[in-house]
């Protein structure tokens, strides 16, 4: 990949990626506060200030280096985790599910909003490729974040949702995986298991659902 294309791609995706990560983490913090835990709020994490959520290595350096090294075929990154003291929640087992679901849920909403933005651009007769591609990229990035974070293995949000839904004994067994979860997920991603068995099928379903939600506006604009 030549340098000019690299810069153009980074510029296109910079705003959608920063927004998707910032709102995802703020949503976790906000939901935790609403359900009784002020830990993240007191640390200033209920905010749309991206600098409170971005990890210099995990959010910026790692994705850029992986993008360059693999010519865009493999990307991975992470933000600063939102600290949640589940014992402070009013109903820890139930509320854990809502706190975990808030992040991916925010990404689904963002994907839908980027889709609305794209349709409004088309409806307004905008033909500038940069803005159209950014809107498409915003939808894509958020669908990826939505689906990937729902993978049912801690420390991903899907793992916490699973622990909240399982009976106590089974949830305790799943929680034992958490110290090794990041490395297991990375191994499954590199092996292509996550992409083949989880990301692609669920992304296809998610895109179809978003298209259904966008269809009234699409018909109105046409």
> What count of other Cβ atoms lies within 10 Å of the Cβ of residue 50?
17
Secondary structure in 3-state letters for 100-166: HHHHHHHHHHHHHHHHHHHHHHHHCCCCCHHHHHHHHHHHHHHHHHHHHHCCCCCCCHHHHHHHHHC
* Distances from the Cα of 66 to the Cα of 62, 160, 205, angstroms: 6, 27, 27
Task: Tell me, yes or no, if 25 is annotated catalytic.
Answer: yes
Residue 6: Cβ-neighbour burial (10 angstroms; 0-12, 13-18, 19+) = middle
| Whether the Cβ atoms of residue 59 and residue 77 lie closer than 8 Å to each other | yes
* Cβ count within 10 A of residue 40: 25
Q: Which two tokens stand for residue 7?
A: 């810069």
| Catalytic machinery residues | 25
């Amino acid at each position: 990949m030549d340098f000019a294309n690299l810069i153009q791609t980074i510029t296109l995706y910079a705003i959608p990626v920063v927004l998707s990560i910032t709102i995802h983490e703020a949503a976790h913090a906000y939901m935790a506060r609403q359900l009784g835990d002020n830990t993240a709020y007191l640390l200033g994490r209920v905010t749309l200030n991206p600098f409170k959520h971005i990890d210099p290595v995990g959010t910026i350096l790692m994705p850029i280096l992986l993008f360059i090294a693999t010519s865009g075929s493999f990307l991975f990154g992470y933000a600063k985790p939102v600290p949640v003291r589940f014992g402070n929640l009013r109903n820890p087992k139930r509320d854990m599910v809502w706190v975990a679901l808030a992040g991916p849920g925010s990404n689904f909403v963002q994907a839908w909003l980027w889709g609305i933005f794209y349709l409004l651009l088309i409806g307004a007769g905008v033909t500038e490729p940069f803005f159209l591609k950014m809107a498409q990229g915003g939808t894509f990035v958020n669908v990826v974040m939505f689906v990937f974070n729902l993978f049912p293995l801690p420390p991903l949000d899907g793992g916490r949702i699973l622990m909240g839904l399982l009976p106590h004994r089974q949830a305790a067994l799943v929680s034992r995986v958490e110290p090794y979860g990041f490395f297991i997920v990375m191994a499954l991603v590199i092996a292509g298991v996550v992409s083949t068995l989880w990301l692609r099928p669920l992304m296809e379903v998610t895109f179809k659902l978003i298209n259904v939600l966008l269809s009234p506006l699409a018909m109105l604009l046409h």
